[in-house]
């Protein structure tokens, strides 16, 4: 009696388990003058298999370059797995009037985009990285940019996905720029890269310093702040106006001993499309 009860419970549990889902394959025959059926609808992840049942040769070619078979002689087949939702039109490469459509249901294609360094110094670069939802390698992803003030976007690169659908592209923005990735009609969320003007401080002589700011604009008439390192951080000691060449030669404050200085460019002085920036540190020594 106990054995029968245990068997009944086990059988009930097996019947209660959900059926396992697996990808399906839809068959399309190449018949004289057409594909049969010419239009099929499948789920994302399913496969379509075309079989040549004619006495001649045929070739399956996607209208948008997503897939293509070799020449199929009588009896040969070609299969392709569709991993992204959408409508895929195709034709016979050897008989262009033969056309068909595969409609794939499921989540729409998605592509991500980010940057390893969202702020760069003028003249420097950063790497954009992303991933496609299909996870396929060999897909093309278009990277576009829109610098601040530009009236339209421009294509800056076309990259190819690697393992897992991942891709990367190195860019060198000269001003605040928004980047977007496009794949199979889907656009990523924008990635904004901000730019710091390049600020340099060099020693012209023992106690004289030269400050220089560089970006795509002139800094004549702007100013930088001369700052000295202290135990509580960088403290401002003077305001240094910049000349026609976006630079200024000046004498360091006379303070006995060795001191470290830098120049700081505020966001307001950096200009539209740029963020605050600062120079390297320079040590100055006064003996008396």
Residue ending a domain, choose from 58, 82, 105 = 105
Q: Containing domain of residue 282, as a range?
A: 197-286
Could you give the dihedral angle defined by the CA atoms of residues 169, 170, 172 and 176, in that order, rounded to the nearest 10 degrees? 50
Q: Is residue 16 situated within a structural domain?
A: no
- Asked whether residue 208 falls in the same domain as residue 225, the answer is yes
Q: Is residue 73 situated within a structural domain?
A: yes
pLDDT number for residue 5: 42
Could you give the dihedral angle defined by the CA atoms of residues 38, 45, 63 and 160, in that order, rounded to the nearest 10 degrees? -170
- Asked whether residue 170 falls in the same domain as residue 90, the answer is no
Which has the closest alpha carbon to 259: 286, 238, 277? 286
CB distance 227 to 262 below 8 Å: yes
Which has the closest alpha carbon to 210: 172, 249, 253? 249
CATH number at residue 166: 2.60.40.10
Cα-trace Rg, the chain: 32
The string of pLDDT tens digits covering residues 149-186 is 999 999 999 999 999 999 999 999 999 999 999 998 89
CATH number at residue 214: 2.60.40
Residue ending a domain, choose from 47, 77, 105 = 105
Structure confidence at residue 15 as a pLDDT band (50, 70, 90): very low
The string of pLDDT tens digits covering residues 239-284 is 999 999 999 999 999 999 999 999 999 999 999 999 999 999 999 9
Report the domain count for the chain. Answer: 3
32 vs 21, higher pLDDT? 32
- Asked whether residue 202 falls in the same domain as residue 191, the answer is no
- Asked whether residue 72 falls in the same domain as residue 127, the answer is no
Q: Residue 288 pairs with which residues in a beta bridge?
A: none
pTM: 0.73
CB distance 159 to 137 below 8 Å: no
Residues 6+ apart with CB under 8 A from 212: 199, 200, 201, 202, 245, 246, 247
219-222 — which CB contacts under 8 Å span 24+ positions? Answer: 219/246, 219/269, 219/271, 220/244, 220/245, 220/246, 222/246, 222/265, 222/269, 222/271
Q: Is residue 180 situated within a structural domain?
A: yes
Report the alpha-carbon distance of residue 17 to residue 12 in Å, rounded: 9
- Asked whether residue 56 falls in the same domain as residue 82, the answer is yes
The string of pLDDT tens digits covering residues 69-83 is 999 999 999 999 988
Alpha carbon 8 to its chain centroid, in Å, reads 56
């Amino acid at each position: 009696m106990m054995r029968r009860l245990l068997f009944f419970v086990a059988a009930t549990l097996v019947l209660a388990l959900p059926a396992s889902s697996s990808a399906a394959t839809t068959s399309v025959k190449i018949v004289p003058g057409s594909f049969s059926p010419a239009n099929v609808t499948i789920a994302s992840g399913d496969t379509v298999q075309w079989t040549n049942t004619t006495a001649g040769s045929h070739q399956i070619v996607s209208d948008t370059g997503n897939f293509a078979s070799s020449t199929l002689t009588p009896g040969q087949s070609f299969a392709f797995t569709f991993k992204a939702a959408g409508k895929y039109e195709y034709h016979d490469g050897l008989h262009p009037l033969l056309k068909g459509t595969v409609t794939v249901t499921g989540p729409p294609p998605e592509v991500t985009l980010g940057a390893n360094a969202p702020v760069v110094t003028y003249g420097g670069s950063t790497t954009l990285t992303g991933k496609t939802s299909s996870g396929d390698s060999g897909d093309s992803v278009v990277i576009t940019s829109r610098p601040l003030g530009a009236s339209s976007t421009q294509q800056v690169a076309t990259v190819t996905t690697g393992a897992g659908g991942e891709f990367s592209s190195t860019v060198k923005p000269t001003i605040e720029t928004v980047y977007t990735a496009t794949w199979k009609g889907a656009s990523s969320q924008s990635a904004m890269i901000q730019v710091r003007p390049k600020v340099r401080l060099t020693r012209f002589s023992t106690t004289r310093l030269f400050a220089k700011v560089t970006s795509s604009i002139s800094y004549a008439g702007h100013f930088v702040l001369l700052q000295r390192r202290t135990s509580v951080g960088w403290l401002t000691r003077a305001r240094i106006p910049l000349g026609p060449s976006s630079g200024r030669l000046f004498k360091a404050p006379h303070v006995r001993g060795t001191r470290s200085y830098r120049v700081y460019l505020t966001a307001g002085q950096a200009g539209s499309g740029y963020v605050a920036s600062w120079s390297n540190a320079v040590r100055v020594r006064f003996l008396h």
